[in-house]
Structure 1
Amino acid sequence: MTAVPVVLLHGIGGAAWGPTLPALAPAPVLDWPLPGYAGTPLLRETSFPAWATALAARLDAEGIARADLLGHSIGGMLAQEFALAFPERVRRLVLYATTPAFGGRDPSFAERFLAERLAPLDAGKDMAALAAETLPPMLGPAAPPGAAEAAIAAMAAVPAEAYRATVRCLATFDRRAEIARIAAPTLLVAGERDPLAPPRTMERMAQAIRDSRLVVLPGAGHLAHLECPDAFNAALRDFLRAAREDAAPSPAPATEP
């Protein structure tokens, strides 16, 4: 039996999945960069529907009919978008440190967010400086030093043009009215100290998605896969192992001699 691939969808700061890969074995892994990241071109339109369509095209090109999706932060928003647009292509879903909508209901929040996130670039700073400024407050108090270093290195490699386009796209996301339609078994992973996707928000998501469960990682912030990789990986292994066991063929009945 061929293992179902796992598609990794990174956050706005780029991919730093190294500590996560051991938890995904033996499944093949597709680390799909958001358009504009990792040397890929921006799409003509930067939007969640356009990203979902581009991801579907990549799966077609790879010969992948169905996959497990693991999405972090904005990647978790894309995972929701994809699961709603292409439900037949998602076996299992991991929504990690993400929300069903950007911000609150106050339109001025988006304006303030965009101004704050883009201000360092507008002031002439590069992505490395922006990363060093914005990432540390996202981590939990017990995060090891290597977590911040890995996250900053990943974000420093993101082209500024791609980051600008992606931040603006982030501010458009709202699938609160649709997430109850997600049919795939879903694991939600929250960091207890995550300031961007707090457990109470992810608990409401878990209540809305019918076949789901929530794991809260004690002390973790927004980058739990780097802050506490052992605990994060254990949650993934349990969830994906259950999928493999469900898919395993039943043993043939014993025959009388």
Structure 2
Amino acid sequence: MAHEPLLSPYAALIARTPVTRAALTVRGGRAHLWRYGPDDAREHMVLLHGFRGDHHGLEPIVAHLLRAHPDLRVTVPDLPGFGASPPLPGVPHDVAGYAAWARVLLRKLAPGGDAVLAGHSFGSVVAAATTAAPGVPLARRLVLVNPIPRRPLSGRDTLSVGATAVLHALAGVLPEEAGTSLLRHPALTRVASIAMVRTPDRALRRWIHEEHGRYFAGFATRASLLESFRASITASVRDSAAGIDVPTLLIGGARDDLARVGDQRALAARFRDARLRLIPGVGHLTHYETPAEVAEEIATFLAADRAPAAAV
């Protein structure tokens, strides 16, 4: 017998969070974005979601963050090719393509370069590449949640990543309809979800699996999905870290198989100015399992930026 869908454990808090939807033309494509918090907020954060995600997955963090930090506005776009945002016309959906898109978006949203840029998982790779671009800084601070510290194909989980790559390669050679169906198959979504979840809370686990089932297949086209998948397994934050000059916060899960603790510490050491915060007992799904803890770390990081300098 089918189960009734579980209500999000964060539903009440998210419902109390003010949000408006907007759209902008960015690099020839229509970027759909969600703005949380007051329009006249003193501070602004732009938050990028991960591979196969969209803005929904980051709402638990945003809601907790705005409860603790009510003078903040958070903008969460759906990356091109995911959620409500269509693919970019004639532009590869790789890290360089996404970073170029994010730079234009930031100039439109915060032309003074005074926003905080943040990203989760693959979004951390894009955010880091965006911030490392030469020229005038486009953001004053950087927050990376579950950052990817090394290229997944070069890590200790090469076998599982390689198997996933084989499935995506198969989806690319099948006829369009069959290949897209394979990429959206619920069994593949469930396997990926089970591999990442760490919480012992059975109700939360079931909700996370349902949430992945609702949104994991929400990509626009097979072509854009395969391009972004290739980028997600061949790039990392490490590629950009040395070129980042702004203060950076890394928030990782202590049980993240995609980002082992040793790799996260080695990554933090590559930045000029970075601090690493590890959340115990959680893996790659901090946005679902421990959003309050993630929000607390971000709020503390932002508060330090506002603290008056010590008297000399």
Do the structures match in fold with TM over 0.5? yes
Tell me how many residue pairs correspond in the alignment.
Answer: 247
Corresponding residue for residue 78 of structure 1: 126
Q: Percent identity?
A: 27
Query: Deviation of residue 196 (structure 1)?
Result: 0.8
Query: Deviation of residue 39 (structure 1)?
Result: 2.6
Corresponding residue for residue 78 of structure 2: 33
User: Separation in 2 of the partners of 1:61 and 1:82?
Assistant: 14
Query: Deviation of residue 12 (structure 1)?
Result: 0.7
Q: Which amino acid letter does the alignment assign opposite residue 153 of structure 1?
A: R
1:183-212 alpha-carbon deviations (Å, 9 max, x no partner): 111111111111111222111111111211
User: Separation in 2 of the partners of 1:176 and 1:58?
Assistant: 23
Q: CA 1:211–1:204 in structure 2 vs 1: closer, same or farther (change >3 Å)?
A: same
Q: CA 1:158–1:101 in structure 2 vs 1: closer, same or farther (change >3 Å)?
A: same
User: Separation in 2 of the partners of 1:55 and 1:123?
Assistant: 27
Q: Which amino acid letter does the alignment assign opposite residue 191 of structure 2?
A: E
1:85-132 alpha-carbon deviations (Å, 9 max, x no partner): 1561121111111224322549x8775541145657749435251322
1:59 counterpart (106, 116, 130)? 106
Q: CA 1:133–1:122 in structure 2 vs 1: closer, same or farther (change >3 Å)?
A: farther
| 3-state SS of paired residue (2:75) | strand
| 3-state SS of paired residue (1:69) | strand
Q: Is the 8 A contact 2:93 2:228 kept in 1?
A: yes
Q: Which amino acid letter does the alignment assign opposite residue 214 of structure 2?
A: A
User: Separation in 2 of the partners of 1:177 and 1:31?
Assistant: 24
1:121-136 to structure 2, matched below 5 A, reads 122=179, 124-125=181-182, 127=184, 129=186, 130-136=188-194
Does the alignment pair 1:238 with 2:300? yes
Corresponding residue for residue 157 of structure 1: 218
1:10-25 to structure 2, matched below 5 A, reads 10-15=49-54, 16-22=57-63, 23-24=65-66, 25=70
User: Separation in 1 of the partners of 2:278 and 2:236?
Assistant: 23
Q: CA 1:187–1:122 in structure 2 vs 1: closer, same or farther (change >3 Å)?
A: same
Corresponding residue for residue 143 of structure 2: 94
Q: CA 1:119–1:220 in structure 2 vs 1: closer, same or farther (change >3 Å)?
A: farther
Mark the runs of 5 or more structure 1 residues left unpaired by the alignment: 251-257
Query: Deviation of residue 63 (structure 1)?
Result: 4.6
1:8-64 alpha-carbon deviations (Å, 9 max, x no partner): 110113131111113044222221222111232222222212211111222233354
TM-score normalised to structure 1 length: 0.83
Q: Is the 8 A contact 2:124 2:237 kept in 1?
A: no
Q: Is the 8 A contact 2:152 2:234 kept in 1?
A: no
1:193-208 to structure 2, matched below 5 A, reads 193-208=255-270
| 3-state SS of paired residue (1:156) | coil
TM-score normalised to structure 2 length: 0.70
1:129-180 alpha-carbon deviations (Å, 9 max, x no partner): 1322212211114352333332332213233523322101223325636422
User: Separation in 1 of the partners of 2:169 and 2:239?
Assistant: 29
Q: Please provide the CA RMSD for this pair.
A: 2.8
Corresponding residue for residue 34 of structure 2: none
Q: Which amino acid letter does the alignment assign opposite residue 193 of structure 1?
A: R
User: Separation in 2 of the partners of 1:193 and 1:9?
Assistant: 22
Does the alignment pair 1:142 with 2:189? no
Q: Is the 8 A contact 2:48 2:76 kept in 1?
A: yes
| 3-state SS of paired residue (1:163) | helix
Corresponding residue for residue 49 of structure 1: 96
